[in-house]
Amino acid sequence: MTVLLSTIATLSLLGILSAVILYFVAQKFKVEEDPRIDEVEKMLPGANCGGCGFAGCRAMAEAMVKQDDISALYCPVGGAECMKSMASYLGKVAPEKEPTVATVRCGGVCAKRPRTNEYSGAKSCAVASSLYVGETACAYGCLGYGDCVEACAFDAIKINPETGIAEVDADKCTACGACVKACPKKIIELRKKWPKNRAVYVSCVSKDKGAVTMKACKAGCIGCGKCAKVCAFGAITVENGLAYIDPQKCKLCRKCVNECPTGAIVLKGMEPLPKEPKTPVAKPAADVAKPTAQPAAKAVEATKPAADKTESVNEQK
């Protein structure tokens, strides 16, 4: 019994002593922190993805509290709403940014881009791309070993085993930009996010000459420039044999989609424009008016789907 009692007594004493010591140590080394940091951190999504440029949500919260001007800060995951609520809590002005979405710009699916060899090294795009051209003859296309998949904290990007190319789930994508950094071929771009995941973009980044591109991949951009000619908004530039659609200028008019001879311009979330019959020379005026009218209408009511309104306003032309 005495053994039991003495054991309990010494242990309790030890416990109390340690608690007291710990208390004083904690007091002495206490770090004063702005309590608002904790509050702001709670408002952040807590994904710690680094999409804001900081090491994690805590670091972002600190920056939000400490900097007077937070216009350079933006949490792509939380989006405008999150930024607004934090800004109003801190009494600062929230930066405005339109939502974006990661877009994989490669259409070299297995059927279009024949495999010429088999890679058996480490399954990493970075390793493969530093070694050689890749399993196909295209030095610019998606390698499909999934460095972007590894980088994504939101399970929003996957390699489609059928095509061997990365695909983004636009609903899950938070536009944190991790995949953009991870891709050694610089294929992924953050583009403006339209409602209902609509998109028009050039699904190719090959800067090879047209003939070289065509030999390597049937879905590549050959830099013919037909798309740039039909674009009414000056959104398309062709440089180094590669067309690029500026997401800020593009109004989703879809005219370029039908022009592209290789199908490198991809249309998502919308029906393509009806193919113009090859013999509309008879009534050119009406035909010109109709397609060009649509984008203009969209320009006015930006978020509405491209309706079949045919107001003949055409400021651009």
State the Cα–Cα distance between residues 225 and 231, nearest whole angstrom. 10
- Note whether 131 binds another protein by CB under 8 A: yes
Nearer to another protein, 140 or 194 (CB): 140
Residue 167, judged by CB atoms within 10 A of its CB (0-12, 13-18, 19+), counts as middle
Could you tell me the smallest distance in angstroms from the CB atom of residue 51 to another protein? 16
Could you tell me the smallest distance in angstroms from the CB atom of residue 225 to another protein? 21
Nearer to another protein, 241 or 247 (CB): 241
**The two three-digit tokens of residue 203, written as one number:** 């699904």
Please select the residue that binds another protein; options are 90, 102, 137, 222, rule is CB under 8 A: 137
Could you tell me the smallest distance in angstroms from the CB atom of residue 103 to another protein? 23
Could you tell me the smallest distance in angstroms from the CB atom of residue 159 to another protein? 18
Could you tell me the smallest distance in angstroms from the CB atom of residue 78 to another protein? 25
Element (DSSP H or E) covering residue 102: strand 100-104
Could you tell me the smallest distance in angstroms from the CB atom of residue 270 to another protein? 36
Could you tell me the smallest distance in angstroms from the CB atom of residue 207 to another protein? 10
Gap between the terminal Cα atoms of the chain: 101
What residues numbered 68-127 form the site for another protein, per CB under 8 A? 116-122, 124, 126-127
What residues numbered 52-71 form the site for another protein, per CB under 8 A? none
**The two three-digit tokens of residue 143, written as one number:** 């390698």
Phi/psi at 140 (5° precision): -110, -15
Letters for 196-235 (x = contact with another protein by CB under 8 A, - = none) are: ------------x---x-----------------------
Nearer to another protein, 25 or 211 (CB): 211
- Note whether 16 binds another protein by CB under 8 A: no
Nearer to another protein, 126 or 270 (CB): 126
Please select the residue that binds another protein; options are 63, 133, 159, 270, rule is CB under 8 A: 133
- DSSP assignment of 217-274: -TTS-----HHHHH-SSS-EEEETTEEEE-TTT-----HHHHH-SS--EEEESSPPPP
Nearer to another protein, 116 or 312 (CB): 116
Nearer to another protein, 130 or 279 (CB): 130
Amino acid at residue number 266 = V
Strand 100-104 relative to strand 157-160: parallel, antiparallel, unpaired? Answer: unpaired
Nearer to another protein, 78 or 141 (CB): 141
Cα torsion through 169, 171, 172, 174, rounded to 10: 110
State the Cα–Cα distance between residues 268 and 249, nearest whole angstrom. 17
Please select the residue that binds another protein; options are 3, 68, 72, 130, rule is CB under 8 A: 130
Asked if 61 and 42 count as a contact pair (C-beta separation under 8 A), the reply is no
- Note whether 2 binds another protein by CB under 8 A: no
**The two three-digit tokens of residue 295, written as one number:** 């984008």
State the Cα–Cα distance between residues 136 and 110, nearest whole angstrom. 9
Question: Three-class SS of residue 189?
Answer: strand
Site size toward another protein (CB under 8 A) is 20
Asked if 188 and 105 count as a contact pair (C-beta separation under 8 A), the reply is yes
Binding site residues, another protein, CB under 8 A: 116-122, 124, 126-127, 130-135, 137, 139, 208, 212
